[in-house]
Amino acid sequence: MINFKSVVKKVEYADLHLHTNASDGDFAPGKLVKLCAKFNLKTIAITDHDTVAGVEEAKAAGEKYNVTIIPGIELGTSQNEREIHILGFYLDVDNPTLIEYLAEINTKRLRRTELIVESLARHGIEVNINKIIDQAGDGTIGRPHIAKAMVEAGVVKSYQAAFNQWIGDGAPAYEKKSIQRPEELIEIIHEAGGAAVLAHPGTAWSEFEVRQLKRSGLDGIEVIHPRHTKRTSANWQRIAFESGLLVTGGSDFHSEKRRVNPLGKYIIEQKYVKQLDDYCRKKIDA
């Protein structure tokens, strides 16, 4: 069974689900790597939403702090009102297919942001779109940036209140994101030489559905995640082993303010990283 213990000195663990300020995390890639080093994390994956912009800075910091960096990403879509997230690992960040897809999806992200701001305005809530764009900087723009702008404008008291009351799924100013089939996301990741892993399946997915995704090319399951109980993780680990799928896990860390997913708690052993690495190397050599 995967070790659920917190990181202990001189024991090597990995966190394969981390976000930087290249998407909706609080920390610059270099600062995040430094923080991970303090938690004795030997290997980490940078898995920002719809961007690989933070990978190179993270790699440079990894050399400085002796942390191995896996270039990754988290791609999202929805199906039948269900959010679907696919993690990609060991990506060629310069792959033309990946670059073209990310340019297209981030244009759609900006348009969705504009539509949400327009919807908020119809409800009498004014937030400045230019400030939201500035807040996103060079990273992928999204609802977290709108939420922060709403807090700064005094419209809501907290980030979570912005989602709960206005911009979360099904809320008054919610706008649907662009939709791709999960198989398309898997294909994009494979085109970039990576392994595609179903993120935080929790209890929303059935074993049958995951086996269907495997037939479409899914390579693994995120077994360890803050949303998973020990029983849920054990169940997904069993399914992964029986289905011949890779096992990954991580904190889904964004910020120290989010206490539900702190660094150093949701980790996996290095043997699972080796399995992932070996798998991707064999794909390249095939």
User: Where does a domain end: 126, 144, 167?
Assistant: 167
The answer, yes or no, to whether residue 263 has pLDDT greater than 80, is yes
Residue at a domain's end among 138, 167, 196: 167
The total number of structural domains that make up the chain:
2
pLDDT exceeds cutoff 80 at 81:
no
**Distance, CA of 112 to CA of 178 (rounded, Å):** 8
3 is a domain residue = no
Q: Is the domain of 202 the same as that of 273? A: yes
What pLDDT, on a 0 to 100 scale, did the predictor assign at position 83?
85
Same domain, 220 and 270: yes
pLDDT tens for each residue of 120-152: 999 999 999 998 988 887 778 889 899 989 999
125 within a domain of the structure (yes/no): yes
11 pLDDT band, cuts 50/70/90, is low
Domain that holds residue 144: 102-167
Give 286's pLDDT tier (boundaries 50, 70, 90): low
Query: Does residue 6 sit within a domain?
Result: no
Indicate whether 76 and 136 sit together in one domain. no
pLDDT tens digits for range 248-260: 999 999 988 777 7
Give me the pLDDT at residue 183, please.
95
Predicted confidence (pLDDT) per residue in 12-34, tens digit: 899 999 999 999 898 999 999 99
Q: Is the pLDDT of residue 80 over 80?
A: no
Single out the residue of 38, 42, 46, 48 nearest to residue 14, CA to CA. 42
Residue 5 lies in a domain: no
CATH of the domain at 264: 3.20.20.140
Residue 192 lies in a domain: yes
Mean of the per-residue pLDDT values for the chain?
Answer: 92
Answer yes or no: do 250 and 277 share one domain. Answer: yes
Question: Given a cut of 80, is residue 230 above it in pLDDT?
Answer: yes
Q: Is residue 8 part of a domain?
A: no
Task: Summarize the confidence of residues 52-80 as an average pLDDT.
Answer: 95
Of the candidates 56, 29, 42, 73, the one whose C-alpha atom is nearest the C-alpha of residue 197 is 73
Q: Which of 237, 233, 212, 274 is nearest to 43 (CA)?
A: 274
Is pLDDT at 8 greater than 60 in this prediction?
A: no
CATH of the domain at 122: 1.10.150.650
For residue 65, the surrounding DSSP H or E stretch is helix 55-65
Instruction: Retrieve residue 108's tokens.
Output: 């759609």
Burial 217-228 (b: 16+ CB within 10 A, else e): ebbbbbbbbbbb
Whether 117 and 228 map to the same domain: the answer is no
User: Rounded distance, CA 14 to CA 276, Å?
Assistant: 12
pTM of the shown model = 0.87
Is 27 in contact with 59 (CB distance < 8 Å)?
no
C-alpha 199 chain-centroid distance: 8
Question: For residue range 43-58, what is the model confidence (pLDDT) as tens digits?
Answer: 999 999 999 999 999 9
pLDDT of residue 7: 47
Strand order in the sheet with 82-89: 246-249, 220-224, 195-198, 82-89, 68-79, 41-46, 13-18, 268-269
Percent of the chain at pLDDT > 90 equals 76
Which of 167, 188, 204 delimits the end of a domain?
Answer: 167
Percent of the chain exceeding pLDDT 70 equals 96
| 72/199 same-domain check | yes
> How does pLDDT run across 157-199, given as a tens digit for each residue?
988 899 999 999 889 999 888 788 999 999 999 999 999 999 9
Between CA 166 and CA 237, with CA 181 as vertex, the angle to 5 degrees is 90
pLDDT higher at 24 or 9:
24
The whole-number average pLDDT for the span 217-241 is 97
